[in-house]
Amino acid sequence: MSGNATVHEPLDPVGHNFWSLEDREKAEDVGTAFINAVRRLGITFDGISISDPCTRCDTKDYVFDLGPQRVEDVAQMANAVNTFADEAERLRQEVERLRKKRRKKNSL
């Protein structure tokens, strides 16, 4: 026999579920959540794709390819992420300031 075919003892027949796409569907769900999350930041990946698991690679999982990104596009993405991160940090500090103020008021 050629290729990867091997001779085994008789095996049970397979059904349609042999071609399970569950892992692919999970990858699509994760990819959809990722795209929706980064779109909230004003970021888009026009060339994103999901590649089938690589039989020659260390990982046997589906892999996301974010596509070619120009330096200017990556700089804009970094700016968008940093803007949101800065605002989140500002809000976190404000909440902490208000909590301290409330604790101080309650201790009087």
Which residues have a Cβ under 8 Å from the Cβ of 61 and sit 6 or more positions away?
Answer: 23, 27, 53
Total of domains in the chain: 2
- Residue pair 27/50 in contact by the 8 Å Cβ criterion: yes
Q: Is residue 58 domain-shared with residue 96, that is, in the same domain? A: no
Given a contact cutoff of 8 angstroms between Cβ atoms, the answer to whether 51 and 24 are in contact is: no
- Residue 21 pLDDT grade (very low, low, confident, very high; cuts 50, 70, 90): confident
What DSSP line would sit under 24-47, residue for residue? HHHHHHHHHHHHHHHHHTT---TT
Strand partners, 52: none
Q: How confident is the model at residue 23 (pLDDT cuts 50, 70, 90)?
A: confident
Output the CA–CA distances (angstroms, integers) from residue 36 to 3, 5, 32, 43, 92, in the order listed.
42, 42, 6, 9, 24
Any domain includes 57: yes
Containing structural domain, residue 94? 69-108
Q: pLDDT: is 98 or 54 the higher one?
A: 98
Report yes or no on 95 lying in a domain. Answer: yes
Q: Judge if pTM exceeds 0.75.
A: no
Together in a domain, 58 and 73: no
Summarize pLDDT for 56-99 with one digit per residue, the tens.
778 778 889 998 999 999 999 999 999 999 999 999 999 999 99
Please report whether residue 73 resides in a domain: yes
